Amino acid sequence: KDCASLRNFVVFAHNFWAAPLSVLASTLLLLRCLGWPALAGVSLIPALIPLETRLASATKRWRKKTLSAADQRMVAVRDALGSIEALKLDPEAWEARVDTRVTKARSDELEALRGEYELTVANQVLMRVAPMLVALLSFAVNALAGRELTPATAFSSLALFSGIGHP
């Protein structure tokens, strides 16, 4: 876990300075390309941050549940393996008790994994959809303002919105 944290820090540490610069540059270029309607879409980004934060926090809580359930399952399996050597008198009754314990532990672990993965997928969907929502809002405001949207402006703006979404 510590190695993974260190690796993630090394990989993403540059985002502390690069991401704000990238977002600022993309926003300024959007203003030049699309005009003031770009601000409508860009203003949606701060509104999405609390939702992403909640999803990430919930995912972290579910991850702790998953790890705890996995530990409980490993304890049950270890106890079962240790008991195999000690108990050889009544294998049918013993196997049923151990099987029930291990199966319940595995079921709890799978439930925790499912919750964790559902939140992870929701967060990934939000991260992928957010740049499109921002672009759609800007284009809608552009259309409501009666401004012309040429293909060159639209595709350039989409590329810049993508830069904001994934600095």
DSSP string, 84-149: HHH--S-HHHHHHHHHHHHHHHHHHHHHHHHHHHHHHHHHHHHHHHHHHHHHHHHHHHHHHTT---
CA-to-CA dists, residue 58 to 23, 64, 109, 128, 142, angstroms: 27, 10, 17, 19, 36
- Write out pLDDT tens, residues 57-112: 998 898 888 888 888 888 888 877 776 665 655 556 667 777 788 888 889 889 98
Read off the pLDDT band of 47 (50, 70, 90): confident
Per DSSP, 163 falls in state H
| Amino acid (1-letter code) at residue 18 | A
Q: Residue 45 in contact with residue 130, Cβ under 8 Å?
A: yes
Cβ neighbours for 137, distance < 8 A, ≥ 6 positions apart:
40, 41, 44
CA 38, 167, 61 angle in degrees (round to 5)? 110
> Per-residue pLDDT averaged across 41-60, rounded?
87
Q: What is the pLDDT of residue 1?
A: 63
pTM comes to: 0.65
Cβ neighbours for 126, distance < 8 A, ≥ 6 positions apart:
48, 51, 52, 55
